[in-house]
Amino acid sequence: MGTMKAWRLYQPRPAETSPLVLEEVPVPEPEPGQVLLKVHACGVCHTDLHTVEGEIRPPRYPITPGHQVVATVEALGLGVTQVQVGQRVGVTWLYHTCGQCDFCRRGLENLCPRAQFAGFHADGGYAEYMVAWADYVFPLPEAVDDVHAAPLLCAGVIGYRTLRVAEVQSGDTVALFGFGASAHLVIQVLRYWGNRVLVFTRSPKRQEHARQLGAAWAGHPQEDPGERVDRALIFAPAGEIVHRALQVLRPGGTVAINAIYMTPIPEMPYDLIYQERGLRSVANVTRQDARDFLELAGRLPIQTTVQPYNWRQANEALADLKVGRIVGQAVLVME
């Protein structure tokens, strides 16, 4: 079917050294049950940064990163009836699961030991085309255009799972630690539900962004907000933040950590977690999370803050993400 351009990672290296290589490769063929997708936009996520820099290692190289993919269906593999050619769909981090293990059967396919992730086990969306399983692509809300839809697919969906894992209830006051791609979508869901939100971030620019999106309070992580919170969600991969989140948490509250990678959590006194405070991590997403969140995102409708890059600037986008130069979400836009 001809060739296409794709960004490939041969070996992990620091983002500022341009680790991705743009290559001409064959357009992939969809297997039975798969679809060929023409990529329109692809979000640039911290997980991509962890992949290119080697904090997490895919099972094979080279690999094409990218797991927040907005695309149209270009061709169908054998037996595909769930989607049509020309339909706009999104791909998330969850590329495939076994469907048979205890986790898959209990609605915890995000924990499937045989789960495959887009742009990690399989080539992702930093390319003109990719293949995906028809059962693992999702229709996107019509109210949101391609570039603004990309952040919904990882930052949004996993942020939504973080709200679920933290068991946020109506009336809860919720603290967000870190205010990047995921948190700026989570705050909109929380405000829609009527929750009070406090935002902890070092960056004055992001504190301002948080206030614009309805934060009741925004300040430096070491500042005292003058109140305790019912839930705290952590979006910064820094272990010491866990202490700070537990310090502002009321007894019986929950801290949920949204990170695939985190620096070690320093030793802590038992008092920090005593009185039934809970500490949970969030791993991956389920298809139900994606369906529920995308439906909600269309209903709000959610506003995503994006920093678009021509897709030929994938290395620049990753380097900018590394140094915290992105407000909202970096998105690669195809030509």
Beta strands 34-44 and 129-133 are antiparallel
Two structure tokens written together for 293: 């969140």
Cα 12 to Cα 16: distance, rounded to the nearest angstrom: 12
Q: Which stretch binds Zn ion (CB under 5 A): 83-91, 98-106, 230-238, 292-300?
A: 98-106
Cα-Cα-Cα-Cα dihedral sign, residues 237, 48, 156, 187: positive
User: Whose Cβ is closer to Zn ion: residue 45's or residue 91's?
Assistant: 45
List the one residue out of 158, 179, 126, 188 whose CA is nearest residue 313.
Answer: 126
Cβ atoms 49, 15 nearer than 8 A: yes
Angle at 224 between CA 220 and CA 229, to 5 degrees: 100
Contact (Cβ atoms closer than 8 angstroms) between residue 64 and residue 124 = yes
Quick check: 98 binds Zn ion (CB under 5 A)? yes
Q: How far apart are the first and last CA of the chain?
A: 20
Verify binding: residue 104, Zn ion, rule CB under 5 A. yes
Q: Which residues ranging from 140 to 179 are in contact with Zn ion (CB under 5 A)? A: 154
Query: Please, which residue, 47 or 258, has the CB nearer to Zn ion?
Result: 47
Q: Identify which range of 47-55, 57-65, 211-219, 226-234 contacts Zn ion by CB under 5 A.
A: 47-55
Q: How far is the CB of 276 from Zn ion (least distance, A)?
A: 31
Considering the rule CB under 5 A, would residue 45 count as an interface residue with Zn ion?
yes
- Closer Cβ to Zn ion, 89 or 104, answer by number: 104
User: Do 119 and 50 form a contact (C-beta atoms < 8 A)?
Assistant: no
Examine residue 108 and tell whether it contacts Zn ion (CB under 5 A): no
Least distance from Zn ion to the Cβ atom of residue 161, Å: 12
The residue among 101 and 262 lying less far from Zn ion, judged by its C-beta, is 101
Residue 95 tokens read as 């590329």
Beta-carbon count within 10 A of 334 CB:
18
- Beta bridge partners, 24, equal 5
Q: Is 314 in the site for Zn ion (CB under 5 A)?
A: no
Tokens of 133: 């399983």
47 counts as binding Zn ion under rule CB under 5 A: yes
21 belongs to the binding site for Zn ion (CB under 5 A): no
Nearer to Zn ion by C-beta: 111 or 279?
Answer: 111
Q: Does 197 bind Zn ion (CB under 5 A)?
A: no
Report in angstroms how near the CB of residue 43 gets to Zn ion at its nearest: 7
CB of 11 to Zn ion, least distance (A): 21
Minimum distance from CB of 101 to Zn ion (Å)?
A: 3
Partner residues linked to 36 by β-bridges: 75, 131
Which pair of tokens denotes residue 83? 């989607």
CB nearer to Zn ion: pick between 154 and 199: 154
Measured torsion, CA atoms of residues 259, 237, 43, 71, in degrees rounded to the nearest 10: -10
Rule CB under 5 A: choose which of 4, 25, 101, 273 binds Zn ion: 101
Q: Of the two residues 261 and 274, which places its CB atom closer to Zn ion in the complex?
A: 261
Q: Which stretch binds Zn ion (CB under 5 A): 79-87, 93-101, 291-299, 326-334?
A: 93-101
Q: How many residues does the chain have?
A: 335
Q: Interface with Zn ion by CB under 5 A: which residues?
A: 45, 47, 97-98, 101, 104, 112, 154
